[in-house]
A = this chain, B = another copy of it.
């Protein structure tokens, strides 16, 4: 099977897994559940659960225990998108061509649906203890994911980004923001997938390091496309960083150097994953596909 076909097939599987773990829209509280599911069903590349699943397979995992983790990973990511879109943060009315959650359900429900998705991710991960004999791996995976989600991960990056909004950033601060805001939720699925499959500490650490580089490359590519892309192909407005006075890699380093850095980071990520000894061929191709990503 070639990469594109495999990507399509696996994404369909990921979507089925996610659908299986969504809460039923019933009870007095059904509106918030609808809001959660509205956001979860908005589509997107499902990159994080896909990476988690492929990392799990790469290290020989063969149990259903990965499934609640895949769904939880997407719930955490979606939680961050819902709150990121709120008026007090990015104030976005549209995402992936659909109205954002708070535009459909109101701001209060947007806040609470985001909270509910974050919490539900843990409810779902806790189900995993009944699905494997390897309880210790579940604990380790949950620890890693929770750490990469919170103040030492994605949320720490979000807050630092918010706090420095509109200010010029130096490279150290820009890296901190992207390593936390973007890389952390790539590191988490890659390393947690490996951990759940029984990979060694060292292998999990390698997947985490690869994830860090993929996240950064992903972000730099995003910055580049905001300058060079066109709105139709990307499906979102371009030149938004410039308009918002945002410091990006392109601003700090220029286009050429940014492209080189993104490519170097992806090469490093592939080398690290290959060196880990896992069957990471698909993940290497997936990482590569991200620099040339189109909608």
Q: Mark A176-201, 1 if CB is under 8 A from B, else 0.
A: 11001000000000000000000000
- Contact of A253 with B by CB under 8 A: no
Contacts of A88 in B (CB 8 A): 106-108, 110-111
* Cβ–Cβ contact B31 & A151, under 8 A: no
* Cβ–Cβ contact B150 & A116, under 8 A: yes
Q: Which of A155-163, A229-237, A260-268 contacts B (4 or more CB under 8 A)?
A: A155-163
Q: Which of A36, A88, A118 has the most CB of B within 10 A?
A: A88
* Cβ–Cβ contact A119 & B32, under 8 A: no
- Contact of A142 with B by CB under 8 A: yes
A262 shortest CB reach to chain B, Å: 23
Q: Contacts A109-B163, A118-B119: A32 and B156 contacting too (C-beta < 8 A)?
A: yes
* Cβ–Cβ contact B160 & A146, under 8 A: no
Contacts of A152 in B (CB 8 A): 29
Contacts of A109 in B (CB 8 A): 159, 162-163
Give the oligomeric copy count: 2
A84 shortest CB reach to chain B, Å: 10
Contacts of A42 in B (CB 8 A): none
* Cβ–Cβ contact B83 & A112, under 8 A: yes
Within 8 A of B (CB), among A10-42: 23, 27-29, 31-33, 36
Bound-state CA distance A190–B157 (Å) is 35
Partner of A129, one of B123, B139, B155, B173: B139
Query: Please, which residue of chain B has its CB at the minimum distance from the CB of A138?
Result: B139
Partner of A155, one of B27, B83, B106, B116: B116
* Cβ–Cβ contact A155 & B114, under 8 A: no
- Contact of A293 with B by CB under 8 A: no
Within 8 A of B (CB), among A43-77: none
Q: Please give 19 more A-B residue pairs, beta carbons under 8 A apart, in addition to A31-B163, A126-B139.
A: A29-B151, A29-B157, A32-B155, A32-B160, A89-B111, A109-B159, A109-B162, A114-B115, A115-B155, A116-B150, A116-B159, A118-B118, A119-B146, A119-B150, A119-B155, A120-B150, A123-B143, A123-B147, A126-B142
